């Protein structure tokens, strides 16, 4: 059998580029902002429009496939990963950046079969960089092969973490306590681009050694997970166990030495799984 998912991969690259052009164009105009789970969890008409464009194009070509899209889930669609071929889509990763004109916004499209990620595409559309990775076939930024950094000494690392959109004091305290402990190891620096997908690509291309977060969603990290793995990096749960796409927590790093050193410092707090049954209000 040839390459069963090549046409899906090509379709992902095409539609990611198209979506990125729509986002760039929309950023030039007035942006109307609404909120979702909290007053700092933003959404715009562009998020919804771009998701429709992506899912519309992919569904036309692959009518039997399943879709998990951030904005569809926000509207009540299920967020369950089955064995069926499934697309996992964040149309605008970095919506807050998009709203403020902060220059990191990504389109993130991943594809899984039998619950295994086959490929991921992250188009950092304001920088016009196309990151991509396919299971067993390496990771690339545009046409260049990318690899994680070879730093093993945590003191020589840059680490990314984000604070997400939950502002409950207890969680914010744990997030900043973790960041303080990591900063004081000491590491060379702490960073954050405001988009989880881009953060993972920064791990993949060796610009930073690790990115971790509790509270992210599967659509933020699915594509980046393939890219990090294919660039030679590692993915773990924040407790050191195996990476679980639906768990809303993850450490991505250049190697196990850095990942395990960071994990020692992470103060874990609960986050409902993406595939948890919807709570009745
Ligand atoms: C957010 C970004 C951000 C991360 C949040 C995500 P969105 O995604 O990836 O970096 O800290 O946890 O929700 O809402 O811009 O698609
Ligand atoms: Ca989004």
| Per-residue tens of pLDDT for the chain, all 281 residues | 678 899 999 999 999 999 999 999 998 888 889 999 889 999 999 999 999 999 999 999 999 999 999 999 999 999 999 999 999 999 999 999 999 999 999 999 999 999 999 999 999 999 999 999 999 999 999 999 999 999 999 999 999 999 988 899 999 999 999 999 999 999 999 999 999 999 999 999 999 999 999 999 999 999 999 999 999 999 999 999 999 999 999 999 999 999 999 999 999 999 999 999 876 54
Q: Whose C-alpha lies nearest to ligand 1, atom 5?
A: 164
For residue 214, give the ligand nearest its CA: 1
Q: Whose C-alpha lies nearest to ligand 1, atom 16?
A: 93
SS3 label, residue 118: strand
SS3 label, residue 155: helix
Q: Whose C-alpha lies nearest to ligand 1, atom 4?
A: 164
Atom of ligand 1 lying closest to residue 98 CA? 15
Q: How close is the Cα of 56 to the center of ligand 2, in Å?
A: 17
Joined tokens for residue 257: 């030495």
Strand partners, 135: none
Q: How close is the Cα of 51 to the center of ligand 2, in Å?
A: 9
The reply to whether ligand 1 has any atom less than 6 angstroms from the CB of 161 is no
Instruction: Tell me the C-alpha distance between 234 and 228, whole Å.
Output: 7
For residue 70, give the ligand nearest its CA: 2
The reply to whether ligand 1 has any atom less than 6 angstroms from the CB of 164 is yes
Strands 158-161 and 66-69: unpaired
Instruction: Tell me the C-alpha distance between 110 and 162, whole Å.
Output: 21
Q: How close is the Cα of 103 to the center of ligand 1, in Å?
A: 14
The reply to whether ligand 1 has any atom less than 6 angstroms from the CB of 165 is yes
Instruction: Tell me the C-alpha distance between 201 and 222, whole Å.
Output: 12
C-alpha neighbours within 13 Å on the C-beta side of residue 190: 17
Cα dihedral sign for 45, 216, 79, 103? positive
pLDDT number for residue 4 = 87
Instruction: Tell me the C-alpha distance between 268 and 271, whole Å.
Output: 9
Atom of ligand 1 lying closest to residue 162 CA? 11
| DSSP alpha helix (H) spans, the chain | 6-27, 45-61, 70-74, 95-100, 169-183, 196-204, 218-230, 256-263
The reply to whether ligand 1 has any atom less than 6 angstroms from the CB of 215 is yes
For residue 19, give the ligand nearest its CA: 2
Joined tokens for residue 155: 């003191």
pLDDT number for residue 240 = 98
Global confidence as pTM = 0.97
């Amino acid at each position: 059998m040839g390459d069963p998912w090549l046409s899906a991969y090509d379709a992902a690259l095409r539609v990611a580029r198209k979506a990125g052009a729509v986002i760039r164009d929309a950023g030039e105009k007035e942006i109307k902002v609404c909120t979702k789970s909290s007053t700092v969890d933003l959404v715009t008409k562009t998020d919804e429009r771009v998701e429709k464009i992506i899912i519309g194009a992919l569904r036309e070509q692959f009518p039997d496939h399943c879709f998990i899209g951030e904005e569809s889930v926000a509207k009540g669609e299920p967020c369950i990963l089955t064995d069926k071929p499934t697309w996992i889509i964040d149309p605008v990763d970095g919506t807050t950046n998009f709203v403020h004109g902060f220059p990191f916004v990504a389109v993130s499209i991943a594809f899984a079969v039998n619950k295994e990620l086959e490929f991921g595409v992250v188009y950092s559309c304001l920088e016009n960089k196309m990151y991509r990775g396919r299971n067993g076939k390496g990771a690339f930024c545009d046409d260049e092969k990318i690899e994680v950094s070879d730093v093993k000494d945590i003191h020589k690392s840059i680490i990314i973490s984000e604070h997400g959109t939950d502002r409950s004091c207890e969680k914010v305290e744990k997030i900043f306590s973790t960041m303080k402990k990591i900063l004081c190891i000491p590491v060379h620096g702490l960073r954050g681009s405001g988009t989880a997908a881009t953060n993972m690509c920064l791990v993949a291309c060796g610009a930073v050694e690790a990115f971790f977060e509790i509270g992210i969603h599967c659509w933020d990290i699915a594509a980046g997970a393939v890219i990090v793995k294919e660039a030679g990096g590692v993915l773990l749960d924040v407790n050191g166990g195996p990476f679980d796409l639906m768990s809303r927590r993850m450490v991505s790093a250049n190697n196990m030495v850095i990942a395990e050193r960071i994990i020692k410092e992470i103060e874990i707090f609960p986050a409902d799984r993406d595939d948890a049954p919807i709570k009745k209000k």
